[in-house]
Amino acid sequence: MKKENIVLIGFMGTGKTAIGKRLASQLNLDFIDTDREIEEVTGLKIPEIFRKYGEKRFRAEEYLVVQKAAERSNCAIATGGGVVLNPDNLKKLREKGFIILLEARPEIIAQRVRHHDVRPLLAKKDNLVAQIEALLKRRAPFYEDHDFKIDTSDLSFKRVIKKIIGFLKEQEWEFKGENIYGNPPG
């Protein structure tokens, strides 16, 4: 099956949503943020889901949203940081999409998420870098299932998008039946 989607995976604070929105705009794709979709479907903010029902319920909602998003075409999909914990999520997303891992150093992630109260897995503000390092270590094997990766720590959104487009060009990626590079396919 032809790859029609760009799927951004990675830990919280690596830029998946911000980059996904800009990438979608630049390439004229639809943008899907799986976390926002979960909030829309449930009528609850993610921290509320965690508080009222726990992580297990959140992951079940996430699975349903991911399955639906993966069926769409011509999308940039920003996933939640833990979407990789269920191998079925990545398997489904990979059917129609390139999996792009966004990474960042723990101290950069801490700076980016420090003032956000919507990160239920980082509820404590003290020892934030240590909490991030521990979560990253547990998730590292799951993040290895990707087609391309970029460390966003020291890059602007523009540079990250340029790298993604470079990767897509190497793959001779086409969307909506168009070759965005002006080269004939093949």
Count the neighbouring beta carbons within 10 Å of the beta carbon of residue 13: 22
Q: Domain range holding 171?
A: 5-179
CATH number at residue 75: 3.40.50.300
Instruction: Per residue of the chain (186 residues), give pLDDT as tens.
Output: 689 999 999 999 999 999 999 999 999 999 999 999 999 999 999 889 989 999 899 999 999 999 999 999 999 999 998 999 999 999 999 999 999 999 999 999 988 887 665 555 555 566 888 889 999 999 999 999 999 999 999 999 999 999 999 999 999 887 654 545 444 333
The domain total for the chain is 1
pTM: 0.89
Asked, for residue 108, whether it belongs to a domain, the answer is yes
Asked, for residue 186, whether it belongs to a domain, the answer is no
Q: For residues 78 and 94, what is the distance between their CA atoms, to the nearest angstrom?
A: 13
Asked, for residue 185, whether it belongs to a domain, the answer is no
Asked, for residue 184, whether it belongs to a domain, the answer is no
Asked, for residue 91, whether it belongs to a domain, the answer is yes
148-151 and 97-103 as β-strands: parallel, antiparallel, unpaired?
parallel
